[in-house]
Each structure stands twice: as structure tokens, then as C-alpha cells.
Structure 1
């Protein structure tokens, strides 16, 4: 069964469209996302991360430095281990924060 030239041209065109269209759509999406990028916001986040690495006990809030006192553990809430996965959860919770398994009351 021989294909006519018009049918062959249609099949080749459809094949090229299926191969090329996703690539063109991806590139258009990439350019659109690049144009929406907020470089100032990215730079501020990068600087904040660098500052946090340098000094884990000081951070900047509203332009002023705030010192953080490490927790001595005295004010820390008691915890209970999940029977399913072993994750530590606060006492009094009904479900585990990691696996959502039910935690029995002690």
C-alpha cells in the first residue's frame, strides 16, 4: 500500500511537530521565568544565608541585629516517640508529625 505524497508530507510534518513543539514550549517557559526573576530578592536571600552561616546566634530583623540565646533545654516541652516510626513528637498530640500514625496517650 503506497502512501501518497500529501499523506507522507503530513506524517513527516506531524512527526516534526511532536518532536520540536515540546522543546519550543520549554524554552518559552524558561525565558518567561527568567524575565520574572527578581534578582534583588535572590541577592538578599543569598546575603541572609551567608550571614546566618557566619553567625548562627545573630540575625537581622527590620535592620537591627537581634541576638538569640541558645535554649538550655529547661523550657523544652516533653516528647513522646511514635510507636510506628520512632519520631519524637510533643506530648499530648494525637498523630505523628512524620508518618501521621496515631500516638496512644501515655
Structure 2
């Protein structure tokens, strides 16, 4: 009864479609979920506790503060300002995190 000819062409096409489409949909769901986590209320709450405006913080600010809280010192002496938009960037980056301008 397990003869390969017993499966219909439509069933095989449906299975092939599922195998091709399902990973893409799962990936898009993961990306959307990560975006929601990145932009969640945690960052706004952290900013309020720090006495800052939630709209003025960047994810790098939160990560740097959390690293300092964990005893990891960030190297602020080598931080540079973007010539295009003026935002501060780490010394080990090539492009600005805000405007994507090339840093010198």
C-alpha cells in the first residue's frame, strides 16, 4: 500500500509548497517579534528611571548603561561624533548608527 504512485500530484505539490513557504513565514514572524522586543516598553521605562526622555535614547545608550551596571566599562574616550548628524558612535564602527554616514 505504500506504493509511491498512490500519492496524488496535488498532495505532492501542496507538500512542496509548504516546505518552501513555511520557513519564510517563520523567519518573517521572528523578525517582527524581535522588532517588537527591541521597541518595547522596557526601553521607555529604563529611560524614565534614568530621568531621560524616552524619545531621545538609542539602543546603544541602554546597552552601554547596562554594561556599566554589570561592571563592564565602555570605552567612551574613543567615541566619535558623526560629521553628518553629530550623534556619538563607538570607536570600532565604520558607519554612523543614526544616519549611516561613513565615519572618518
TM-score, length basis structure 1? 0.37
More helix by proportion, 1 or 2?
2
More strand by proportion, 1 or 2?
1
Task: Look at both structures and tell me which one has the larger radius of gyration over its CA atoms.
Answer: 1
